[in-house]
Amino acid sequence: MTRVITGSVLAVCLISMIGCAGNGGTSVSGDPPVPTAAGDESSSSTAAGETFLVKLETSKGDVVIEVHPDWAPNGAAHFRELVEEEFYDECRFFRVLDGFMAQVGMNGDPAVQARWGEATIPDDPVKESNKRGYVTYAQTAMPNSRSTQFFINYGDNSNLDRQRFAPFGKVIEGMDIVDSLYSGYGEGAPSGPGPSQEGIAQLGNEYLNAEFPMLDYIITARIVGEDDAQTEETVDTPAEAP
C-alpha cells in the first residue's frame, strides 16, 4: 500500500506504508483488539483540543513535538494512543531524504506492526501547511488510510497540503537533531537502494540492523509530564497499615 506525495516538479516522491493486509500478516490468536483513535474515550481531552508535548529520545538526541488536536483531531488522538502504547520505541527512521522529510513508524516487531497496521483512522481536514518541522502522518492514495507511520518535514512541502496530508504537530525542540538523522541510504526500495518496507514488515529490526545498520532510531517516545505525574502519585499515596 503506497502513499503518494509529489516532492517537486522534477520528481514524484512516495510516502508509503505497508498495512497488515498488504503484508500478508494476520493477528495472533489471543492478542487484544487494536482500537482506532476515533471514538476512544481515553483520548477525549485530546479530541477537545488540549495541546500536549511528546519527547522522542533518539539515537542522535532529544526531539520535542508539540501536538495540536485542533489541527488534526483524529491524527493527534491516534498519535497519543500509539505513544502511550510505546509503539514507537526502537522504531527506525527508515526513509530520510535530504531537503524533503524524515519518515518513521514501522515497529521493529513484525507481529506488533501487523496488528497496528490495521488501525487506520479517518482523514482530517488540512488546517496547517506542511512547513519545515511540521509533523504529519503518511497515507496511501486511498481515503482514511493513515496508520502508524509519520514524517517530519525538512522544508516547505506545502504542495502536500492539497493531497490530504494534514499536519498534527510541529517540532519545537531538536530540529537540529532531525536534520542530523542518517540519510545515506536514500530512497527506499524498489525506487532506491534504501530499506524495503516489505522487508521491515516481514522481519522488522532484524532486517534493518543487518542490512542498514547506520539508521538512526527512536529509543523511546513519551508524553512530557506523564512519567513525572505517575511518580508523584506513587510517592504521595500512603502505604496501608500492616
What tens digit of pLDDT does each residue of 139-172 get? Answer: 999 999 999 999 999 999 999 999 999 999 999 9
Give the pairing type, strands 150-153 and 134-137: antiparallel
Q: What digits encode the pLDDT tens for the residues 88-107?
A: 999 999 999 999 999 999 99
Q: Please state the domain count of the chain.
A: 1
Residue 38 lies in a domain: no
CATH number of the domain where residue 210 is located: 2.40.100.10
Q: Measuring CA to CA, which residue among 183, 182, 156, 153 is closest to residue 170?
A: 153
Whole-prediction pTM value?
Answer: 0.79
Residue 39 lies in a domain: no
Question: With 80 as the cut, is the pLDDT of residue 15 above it?
Answer: no
Residue 160's domain comprises: 2-24+47-229
Residue 32 lies in a domain: no
Query: For all residues of the chain together, what is the average pLDDT?
Result: 82
- For 207, the grid coordinates are 532486517
Residue 140 lies in a domain: yes
Question: With 90 as the cut, is the pLDDT of residue 41 above it?
Answer: no
Residue 126 lies in a domain: yes
CA distance 238 to 235: 8
Residue 176 lies in a domain: yes
23 CB-side CA count, 13 A: 27
Residue 148 lies in a domain: yes
